[in-house]
Structure 1
Amino acid sequence: MPKSLHSKRHLMIAAALAEQRRLKGMSQAQVAKAFGRYQPFIANIESGERRIDLVELLDIAAIIDLDVEALLRRLRQLPSMD
């Protein structure tokens, strides 16, 4: 079984966060500040270097207006083992 940190699903989450942040017109630093963290925290999530837990995902999604339900539907279309 692959490590989930580098799975297709994890990379999809990271890419969705980065894409939506850009679409929202926010920098990593702006998202980090709204989240109460520093910019490298967001950079590490977006680059796939750091896992994001569900609570963090929901909180960051609220900041950048990411539709988590739509993201979950896309994630469910991928095989669970990659």
Structure 2
Amino acid sequence: MTHPIHDSRYQRIATLLGELRKQHGLLQQDVANRLGRPQGFVSKVESGARRIDLVELLDFLRALESDPHAFIDELLNQPISSLPR
């Protein structure tokens, strides 16, 4: 069994967060400043090296001025039944 951090669903979250940041024209440092975290935190989240919990995801989305509902909709754009577990 693979380690949970390698679950494709977490990788999808990481990818979407990075895409959102770039769409908003923000640097990782900008997001880190808004979160009160080091830039390395944002880098690790976006690269998939660090998972984030639900509260951190909501904070991240707030820092990106993004709607959590829209984010989840995009995340689930691929049917959940087709996502590997």
TM-score by length of 1: 0.85
Matched residue, 1:70: 70
Correspondence for 1:22: 22
> Displacement, 1:67?
2.8
How far residue 3 of structure 1 moved from its aligned partner, in angstroms, is 2.8
> Is contact 2:32–2:41 with CA below 8 Å preserved after alignment?
yes
Q: What is the aligned-residue RMSD (CA, Å)? A: 1.8
- 1:45 corresponds to which residue? 45
Q: Name structure 2 gaps, 5 residues minimum.
A: none
Please give the alpha-carbon distance, in whole angstroms, between the structure 1 residues aligned to 2:75 and 2:22.
20
**Would you say the 8 A contact 1:17–1:46 is kept in 2?**
yes
Unpaired segments ≥5 residues, structure 1: none
Structure 2 CA distance for aligned equivalents of residues 74 and 3 of structure 1: 24
TM-score under structure 2 normalisation? 0.82
C-alpha separation between the residues in 1 aligned to 2:48 and 2:80? 18
Deviations 1:28-74 (A, max 9, x none): 00100110011000000000000111111001101112332233234
Paired-residue identity, %? 39
